[in-house]
Amino acid sequence: MNKEQGKISASLMCLKLKDLENDIKIMEEEKVDYLHVDVMDGDFVPNYGFGTDYINGIREMTDIPLDFHLMVMRPEDKLEWFKLRPQDRVCIHYESTIHVQRTLVRAKSYGSKVMLAINPGTPLYAVEEVLDYIDGILVLTVNPGFAGQKIVRSCISKVERLKEFLDEQGYGDLELAVDGNISYENAKLFRNMGANIFVAGSSSIFDGGDLRVNIEKYRDVIK
Ligand code: DX5
Ligand code: ZN
């Protein structure tokens, strides 16, 4: 079990544009750890969003580190678009590039934390050959590209089996992030399995309730 406090990665695709400035101010005050940016190209996932102009705009508004979830084909060709910073993290999908090890090494050269993302249908053992080149793994617990989905049930045991595998292989210190329908209840479940980064979206902090109250409730669940 990861001993340190769990980290909140707040999903920007789940907040309302009209509330952006106000919500970012609240997230700064509440010390949210990351802003989760779902970059989507309409090819890797059947959705489109969060282009570089939007990201540059967020950069002008806040210094909260960005958690780039690259749902794009051939991410290796696009890394320099995002002006990555050491305190950021970049999540590369195993399924999005032919040469995943080379892409992870290239991502690392930008200095930020590098995560390998795996879709619900990707076997957890896909991570086995690149454990030395990553800072952690992002487990997609929905088929990525949309907020508001329900968890893919098989992913619940997948997180547990992955953590057991990492511990057995001597990689128990790698960070373990989960993304997709990470409700308060699911966050607690995955926290107890050893996850330490939680993508909080429409099923939790952006459920329409008071954002500040929701963040404090979420932090309590993942402590
Ligand atoms: C998946 C997205 C969503 C979102 C979280 O591509 O990354 O998981 O951030 O939103 P909810 O909580 O609605 O799944
Ligand atoms: Zn995401």
For 76, 83, 112, 130, 198, the CA distances from 80, given in Å and listed in that order, are 9, 6, 12, 22, 26
Q: Whose CA is nearest to atom 4 of ligand 1?
A: 147
At 129-167, the pLDDT tens digits run: 999 999 999 999 999 999 999 999 999 999 999 999 999
* Ligand 2 centroid – CA 117 distance (Å): 9
Residue 78: is its pLDDT beyond 50? yes
pLDDT at 111 over 80: yes
pLDDT at 82 over 70: yes
**The predicted structure's pLDDT at residue 104:** 98
Strand partners of residue 115: 91, 136
Closest C-alpha to ligand 1, atom 9: 11
Q: Supply the residue whose CA is at minimum distance from atom 5 of ligand 1.
A: 201
Q: In this structure, which ligand is nearest to the CA of 143?
A: 1
Confidence (pLDDT) at 3: 61
Active site residue 53: no
Q: Is residue 201 lining ligand 1, measured as CB closer than 6 Å?
A: yes
What's the pLDDT tens digit per position in 155-199? 999 999 999 999 999 999 999 999 999 999 999 999 999 999 999
- Whether residue 74 contacts residue 96, with contact meaning beta carbons closer than 8 Å, is answered with yes
| pLDDT computed for residue 2 by the predictor | 53
Handedness of CA 78, 80, 83, 87 (dihedral sign): positive
Confidence category of residue 1, pLDDT binned at 50, 70, 90: very low
pLDDT at 210: 98
Q: What is the pLDDT of residue 149?
A: 97
Mean pLDDT value across residues 214-221? 98
Calpha distance 205→48 (Å, rounded):
23
Average pLDDT over every residue of 64-76: 98
pTM check: above 0.95: yes
In this prediction, residue 4 has a pLDDT band, given cuts at 50, 70 and 90, of confident
Please tell me whether residue 113 adopts helix, strand or coil conformation: strand
**Strand locations in 56-205 (E):** 66-71, 89-93, 113-118, 136-140, 175-179, 197-200
